[in-house]
Amino acid sequence: MSKIKIGIITCSTCTRELDCPVGGCLKDLYDRKGAFKEYGNQNIEISGINSCNGCPTLKGEESILPKIESLIHYGATHIHLSYCMTAVCPFLNKYVKVISAKYSEINLIQGTHEPHQSNEEFRCDIKEMLIKRRKTIIP
């Protein structure tokens, strides 16, 4: 059976600054929950995981494209923008626009694991951790 090859892009604030090891995304991928539910019993494989290139205020939203390109290079046909991106990122729609324009062949999916709280609560927790500096994103 052919495999669906999945790439994940995460928010670098969550993964690089707050040390999330992407475990929640991976758990729901293996359990076919959250945004991964749609794969059902299909055979899937992770092609790679990349964080965004940091907030693109000055760099521009095209700064996400090399991250996408590298996932495609390693075979990804389905690219998920992580739950944390969908919950906190003010640039999400701009990212979706540039990615879809350049890589129209890719299945771009918004979300990964199931939300464990409201987006607002998640944003507040992230803000608190960034201000406190910090232990880790793991509760």
Enumerate binding residues for ligand SF4 (CB under 6 A). 10-15, 20, 22-25, 52, 54-56, 82-85, 88-89, 91, 112-113, 137
Four-residue CA torsion sign, 13, 119, 24, 129: positive
Four-residue CA torsion sign, 131, 65, 81, 28: negative
For 107, the token pair is 């299945």
Token look-up 């907030």 returns: 55
Nearest to ligand SF4 of 2, 121 (CB atom): 121
Min CB(106)–ligand SF4 separation in Å: 18
Exposure string over 37-70, b if 16+ CB within 10 A, otherwise e: eeeeeeebebbbbbbbbeebeeeebebbbebbee
For 66, the token pair is 């090399």
Nearest to ligand SF4 of 5, 81 (CB atom): 81
Min CB(70)–ligand SF4 separation in Å: 16
Residue 40's beta-bridge partner residues? Answer: none
Min CB(61)–ligand SF4 separation in Å: 8
Nearest to ligand SF4 of 47, 112 (CB atom): 112
Nearest to ligand SF4 of 2, 99 (CB atom): 99
Q: Name residues whose C-beta falls within 8 Å of residue 61's C-beta, 6 or more positions apart in sequence.
A: 91, 94, 95, 97, 98
Nearest to ligand SF4 of 5, 84 (CB atom): 84
Min CB(111)–ligand SF4 separation in Å: 8
Min CB(17)–ligand SF4 separation in Å: 8
